[in-house]
């Protein structure tokens, strides 16, 4: 069986590095999607909408491909935290999160032509009661201004964390590979060959 073309609709280097773990050939493109939240939009709705829009945008350009879109939002109480973008915004986010439990919602979508399938993978993170000095040291070392909640867990950001709970350890980094593997299989493109039927080994 010929494996379909695989496209990652993302410019994130973190998502590219994660997808490389599956050892599948792929190309990465800019989805060109406006990530501005809609008025009154809930964080879970926001991340799944953006993941699906990114996948759809890529599928419109590459109708023969399986296109992957993903998005992540950090949720603190009723407040959604996205990418801080600046040092001051990152400091404010980290101060708000210290000593508290934060939900990171990571949405994954796969599209082929007009068929789009998606899931949301939650991760619960308990942050330490770290100091302002720790915030500044972390930001100077990692500059995580392109990470939701300024939380770069795969690097020095792990030192800010007491506990992580998730069904998918890759979700917090930005691309839940367990869910992605399931979705690719739904489209008939399993990452690994399927077991042969009984009696046909």
Tell whether 148 is covered by a domain.
yes
pLDDT of residue 1: 56
Helices 87-97 and 132-142 pack at an angle, to 10 degrees, of 130
- Identify the segments of the chain with pLDDT beneath 70: 1, 195-201
Residue 64 a catalytic site member? no
CATH number at residue 88: 3.90.950.10
What's the structural domain count of the chain?
Answer: 1
Cβ-based neighbours of 120, under 8 Å, separated by 6 or more = 44, 47, 48, 105, 106, 107, 108
Asked whether residue 197 is assigned to any structural domain, the reply reads: no
Establish if 20 belongs to a structural domain. yes
Per annotation, catalytic residue among 45, 71, 146, 168: 71
Range of the domain at 164: 5-186
Q: Establish if 117 belongs to a structural domain.
A: yes
Domain contains 198: no
28: in domain: yes
Residue 195 located in a structural domain? no
Domain-embedded: residue 38: yes
* Cα–Cα distance for residue pair 108/117, rounded to 1 Å: 8
Residue of 122, 134, 106 lying closest to 164 (CA atoms)? 122
Round to whole Å and give the CA distance between 61 and 79.
34
């Amino acid at each position: 069986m010929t494996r379909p073309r695989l496209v990652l609709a993302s410019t994130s280097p973190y998502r590219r590095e994660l997808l490389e773990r599956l050892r599948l050939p792929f190309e990465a493109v800019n989805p060109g999607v406006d990530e501005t939240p809609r008025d009154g939009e809930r964080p879970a709705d926001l991340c799944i909408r953006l993941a699906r829009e990114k996948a759809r945008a890529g599928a419109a350009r590459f109708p023969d491909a399986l296109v992957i879109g993903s998005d992540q939002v950090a949720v603190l109480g009723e407040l959604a935290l996205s990418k801080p973008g600046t040092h001051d915004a990152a400091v404010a986010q980290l101060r708000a999160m210290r000593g508290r439990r934060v939900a990171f919602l990571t949405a994954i979508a796969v599209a082929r032509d007009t068929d789009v399938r998606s899931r949301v993978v939650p991760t619960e993170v308990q942050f330490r009661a770290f100091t302002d000095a720790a915030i500044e040291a972390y930001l100077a070392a990692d500059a995580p201004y392109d990470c939701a909640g300024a939380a770069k867990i795969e690097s020095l950001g792990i030192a800010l964390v007491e506990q992580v709970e998730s069904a998918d350890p890759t979700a917090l980094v930005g691309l839940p590979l367990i869910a992605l593997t399931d979705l690719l299989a739904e489209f008939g493109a399993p990452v690994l060959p399927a077991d042969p039927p009984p009696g046909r080994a």
